[in-house]
Amino acid sequence: MLRIQLTSAAMLLTILISCGNGGDQTTTTVAAESDSTVVSKVKARRILFFGTSLTAGYGLDDVNDAYPALIQSKIDSLHLPYQVVNAGLSGETSAGGKGRIDWLLKQPVDIFVLELGANDGLRGLSVSQTAGNLQDIIDRVKAKYPKARLVMTGMQMPPSMGEKYTADFKNLFSDLAAKNKMVFIPFLLEGVGGIPKLNQKDGIHPTAEGQKILAANVWRELKPLL
């Protein structure tokens, strides 16, 4: 009975507010503030983007043009309770990532997006070594947060690296994704790699326009997880 009385009182208060100064506009404002508060309170689900300069947004005038930030904008527009954490680091290799993943896992992770390996490939490092390092990172995420959803972004090397190496390198990502039941993005740079106008002068790092395409590539696979 007390609960019913309190609910009725709350409804009466809402009616009084809407009838006073500003009418419906006041009610809308109160509702908007309430929604914002609710979203803020539940925004504890974290999406960790763990990667290289492609994730960090190297060379961009504004870090908000990097694809993780663009993903956050999409999430916010849909009022979904997720917070993106950009843990991209320029020049990062799979071995380097293995060395810093534990520190990042000190905070909760609900979705883990792995974007590492590109710098290994450009340096011609052993494919088996890269695969081993990435598996180690995946194992640590699983051990710390067994309920976290995992996403793998695939990468490819230019033909100049040799036919066998490029084939083995490309396959290591799909193999790891299948082995660990990860959502798989076949090629992060799909629609951007090798297109001059979508890359900076170095021909490697996407421009702001290129990053929009990266965001679309990731969003296509990430959205169903949300």
Q: Which is nearest to 122 in space by CA: 86, 162, 87?
A: 162
Residue 10, C-beta contacts closer than 8 angstroms, at least 6 positions apart: none
Say what the pLDDT of residue 7 is.
38
Say what the pLDDT of residue 143 is.
98
Q: Model pTM?
A: 0.82
Residues catalogued as catalytic:
53, 202, 205
| Per-domain boundaries in the chain | 1-42, 44-225
Helix (H, G, I), strand (E, B) or coil at 182: coil
pLDDT (tens digit, 0 to 9) for every residue of the chain, 226 residues total? 433 333 333 433 333 333 334 433 333 333 333 344 444 445 579 999 999 999 999 999 999 999 999 999 999 999 999 999 999 999 999 999 999 999 999 999 999 999 999 999 999 999 999 999 999 999 999 999 999 999 999 999 999 999 999 999 999 999 999 999 999 999 999 999 999 999 999 999 999 999 999 999 999 999 999 9
Please report, for residues 34, 35, 88, 167, the alpha-carbon distance to residue 54 in angstroms, rounded to integers and kept in the order given.
37, 34, 7, 21
Domain covering 44-225 assigned CATH 3.40.605.10 in the classification: no
Contacts 24+ apart (CB under 8 A), 200-207: 200/59, 202/59, 205/53, 205/54, 205/58, 205/59, 206/54, 207/60
